[in-house]
Amino acid sequence: MDIAILIYDRFTALDAVGPYEVLSRLPDSTTTFVGETVGPKRTDTGVLALTADASIADVPTPDIVLVPGGPGQSALMGDGPVHEWLRKAHESTTWTTSVCTGSLILAAAGLLQGKRATSHWTALEELGGLGAEATAERVVFDGKIVTAAGVSAGIDMALTLVARIAGDELAQAIQLGIEYDPQPPFQAGSPQKAPTEIVDAVLAYSRFEAASR
Amino acid sequence: MDIAILIYDRFTALDAVGPYEVLSRLPDSTTTFVGETVGPKRTDTGVLALTADASIADVPTPDIVLVPGGPGQSALMGDGPVHEWLRKAHESTTWTTSVCTGSLILAAAGLLQGKRATSHWTALEELGGLGAEATAERVVFDGKIVTAAGVSAGIDMALTLVARIAGDELAQAIQLGIEYDPQPPFQAGSPQKAPTEIVDAVLAYSRFEAASR
């Protein structure tokens, strides 16, 4: 099973690395970080680079595609090699997946028309505007399309996906291997749970970020 | 505030990237991925490389040090430049931290003598043998030393640390920004919660891995 994780400049590292840590443990699988070009891709903070070991052209028919999000997503909304690769790969994937605003890229490539899908909570409206049925759930399956909510939701998605692919026992073993027994110090991880003033502050910051792209 | 995240060959990506995603959002901070040498470091799976932008010699006095774990930890248990750097840096850090078996490196460098500390659940016995008071908690503070349990625990540690450094509101805003509202599909993230046969399988695998290093 070939797993291709797309990375690009200004993606959010955890969007890709969370699911990678889970999916790469699938037996008989090969995970490849791919980019439009080979080489280091710098994340949204500017202080970290992950290497794309192959180009998208090198991995034309992956079984699983994963598209992370992050501010750099906005540069991948127009037609071009990434959309062409996604559309072509999607014809033969078993699973086409995204984390966070990676779903906006899938939608812009035309893969989410009428599909139930999710994204970072600040991007659900934009996702709906691109033709998807935007859904505020953490992990959304619609046929072979699987989308996760913001950033850390990719871990939950990947564990769910491993269970579908290889059974609950392997998913549980991987969960135990990465000691994923989350104990967040606050209940502030969703706009429903966080205090209103925190939600407003994050929304204001995300609009500022979007405007400054 | 200077934050140095140590990376090395065969570290576990999520150990470093989870806390990075949180700590790098601290205002007035600079996060640097450092290695014994500058350049790409390949993670434990072999399929991903993160770049060390600076050498440890370039960042001698960080305010926060973070040491991730992973199979490559075993190559950093002997005296050498990394231990020297850790000992020297620790003299002036505000926080010296680790995730997963990164605590074994801190312990081998002599920084955890008599200190309460944690590690990946499979490594707690080894941690105790190195002079620490091994503690099966997810995030352990002992003075300025902060250790996290396995892999994904680094996210909980980093949010807790941000709250100490900059207040609960910022920690909550970062938590909401990364939509950290975990919904693992199984309750198998700790040896207490996972089914016995899963615990046994992961233990057997971890012993096999340790023996094959």
pLDDT of residue A208: 74
- The answer to whether the beta carbons of residues A73 and A105 sit under 8 Å apart is yes
For residues A170 and A28, is the Cβ–Cβ distance under 8 A? no
Out of B50, B76, B100, B139, pick the active-site residue. Answer: B100
Kindly state the average pLDDT of the residues B100-116: 98
- Report whether pLDDT(B211) > 90: no
Render pLDDT for B16-29 as a digit per residue (tens, 0 to 9): 999 999 999 999 99
Query: Contact, B10 vs B40, CB < 8 A?
Result: no
Q: What is the rounded CA–CA span in Å between residue A84 and residue A177?
A: 36
Average pLDDT over residues B198-208: 89
- pLDDT recorded at residue A202: 93
Residue B9 confidence (pLDDT) above 70: yes
Query: CB distance A31–B47 less than 8 Å?
Result: yes
Reduce the DSSP state of residue B148 to 3 states and report it: strand
In the block, tokens 């889970």 appear at A22
Question: Strand (E) positions, chain B?
Answer: 2-6, 30-35, 39-42, 49-52, 54-55, 64-67, 95-99, 116-117, 133-134, 139-142, 145-148
Residues facing A32 on adjacent strands: A4
Residue boundaries of the structural domains of chain A:
2-182, 183-213
Q: Give A209 or B109, the one with higher predicted confidence.
A: B109
pLDDT, residue B208, reads: 74
CA dihedral sign, ordered B83, B137, B100, A153: negative
- pLDDT category at A205 given cuts 50, 70, 90 is confident
Contact call for B186 and A172, based on CB within 8 A: yes
B210's CB contacts (< 8 A; 6+ apart) are B74
Percentage of the residues of chain B whose pLDDT score is greater than 90 = 95
Q: What is the mean pLDDT of residues A141-150?
A: 98
| Confidence category of residue A212, pLDDT binned at 50, 70, 90 | low
How confident is residue A209, by pLDDT bands cut at 50, 70 and 90? Answer: confident
Residue B106 has pLDDT above 70, yes or no: yes
Residue partners of B27: CB distance under 8 A and separation at least 6:
B166, B170
pTM: 0.97
Which DSSP letter does residue A72 get? G
Instruction: Give the separation between CA A63 and CA A191, rounded to whole angstroms.
Output: 34
pLDDT higher at A206 or A160? A160
Within 13 Å and on the Cβ side, how many CA atoms surround B131? 10
* Residue in B149, B182, B194 nearest the CB of A152: B182
Fold for the domain defined by A2-182: Rossmann fold (3.40.50)
Helix, strand, coil fractions of chain B, as percent rounded to 5: 40, 20, 40
Question: A144 to chain B, minimum CA–CA distance in Å?
Answer: 18
Residue B100 bears catalytic tag = yes
pLDDT-based confidence at A24, cuts 50/70/90? Answer: very high
- Report residue B28 CA to chain centroid gap: 22
ipTM passes above 0.85: yes
Q: pLDDT at position B212, please?
A: 64
pLDDT at position B177, please? 96
Nearest to A20 among B48, B176, B178 (CB): B48
The per-residue pLDDT of chain A, averaged, comes to 96
Nearest CA in chain A to B178: A151
Q: Do A175 and B194 touch (CB under 8 A)?
A: yes
pLDDT digits (tens, 9 = 90+) for B32-85: 999 999 999 999 999 999 999 999 999 999 999 999 999 999 999 999 999 999
Q: At residue B206, does pLDDT exceed 90?
A: no
Please give the angle made by the CA atoms of A154, B124 and B105, to the nearest 5 degrees.
80
Cβ proximity of A83 and A113 under 8 Å: no
Q: Out of A32, A178, A193, name the one closest to residue B150 (CB).
A: A178
Average pLDDT rounded to a whole number, residues B147-155: 98
Q: Which of B121, B127, B20 is nearest to A175 (CA)?
A: B121
